[in-house]
Structure 1
Amino acid sequence: MSSNVTLEEITGHNFEAFMEMELPEHQRDFIASNAFSIAQAKFYADYIPRGICCDGEPAGFLLYDRQSNDNPGEYGIYRFMVDFPRQGQGIGRRAMALLLDELKAKPDVKLITICYKPGNVAARTFYQSFGFEETGLDEIGEMIAAIKVAA
């Protein structure tokens, strides 16, 4: 099981460790690379990249948008991954709980969305366990799931 899981800022000192994380072949079609996501965050001011650490060591990566679809109060989780050697240890479950607590604490939050490939059964089951409800496919064929946050 996971020990101390934290969400950390991506900085000039740690970005390479997160960029180098790769998923195995059978998972690569499910998510964009961390390197691509870190680059996006440099050019899109509302994109927030975070490193997932376990006991101070890089263990995964996530990226969210403060204004998904340019809607204030709508937070979109665009990337969420645990480094393959660290999968199955509870790190992702703890990191998602931390992220949702962080987003739900935002004063303007109304909606939290996440998207995944419809064939990714593991992702569907994982996100549903946190209360995400599927709302339909987006324009590129990915499933959108959402949590409505009471005002």
Structure 2
Amino acid sequence: MAAHVTLQDIDEDNFESFMDMELPEHQRDYLDSNAYSIAQSKFYPDFFTHGIYCDGEPAGFLLYDCRADDVPGLYGIYRFMVDYPLQGKGIGRKAMALLLAELRAKPDVQRIIIYYKPDNAVAREFYRSFGFHECGIDEEGEMIAEIIPSGFADQ
């Protein structure tokens, strides 16, 4: 039976489940911690978090910005992770499709960017499969890839 994946807001009732998720040692350099991301979302009003749930259980985390670089209509995905024991089961693919559908439905969306470490080949291929195209390295050394709403494909 296929897993049921949903996105839910992070709130006072569920945040601890997501703060405690950690990546294995070989993936830790690719992403800031969920705890750091949750803290950011409390101080930056344009940052939004979602818990990724699989069959009703916490399975991953994401953070996005609805005014990336203070540009209206530019959405930036800053964190996207699936809890390590659940990786490789299609949860991330379903969650990304849900996130892109949510962002595509925003009335002001013009472009979506995502950031990842240039040496993260798995992330590069994953995002490329959704239609993201690399467009350069930012000042912090992270790859920026973008997609425009008309470029969305149903995944």
TM-score normalized with structure 1 length? 0.98
Correspondence for 1:22 = 22
Deviation per residue, 1:1-39 (Å, 9 max, x gap): 851100001011100000000000000000000000000
Partners of 2:123 and 2:52 in 1: CA distance: 17
Structure 2 spans left out of the alignment, 5+ residues = 151-155
Q: Say how many residue pairs are matched.
A: 150
Q: CA deviation at 1:149?
A: 2.1
Correspondence for 1:137 = 137
What's the RMSD between the two structures over aligned residues?
A: 0.9
Correspondence for 2:153 = none
Correspondence for 1:100 = 100
Correspondence for 2:10 = 10
Correspondence for 1:78 = 78
Could you say what secondary structure the match of 1:134 adopts? Answer: strand
Stretches (4+) displaced over 3 A? none
Partners of 1:94 and 1:102 in 2: CA distance: 12
Amino-acid identity (%): 67
1:120 matched to 2:120: yes
Structure 1 spans left out of the alignment, 5+ residues = none
Could you say what secondary structure the match of 1:145 adopts? Answer: strand
Partners of 2:129 and 2:2 in 1: CA distance: 18
Q: 1:2·1:91 contact (CA, 8 Å) conserved in 2?
A: no
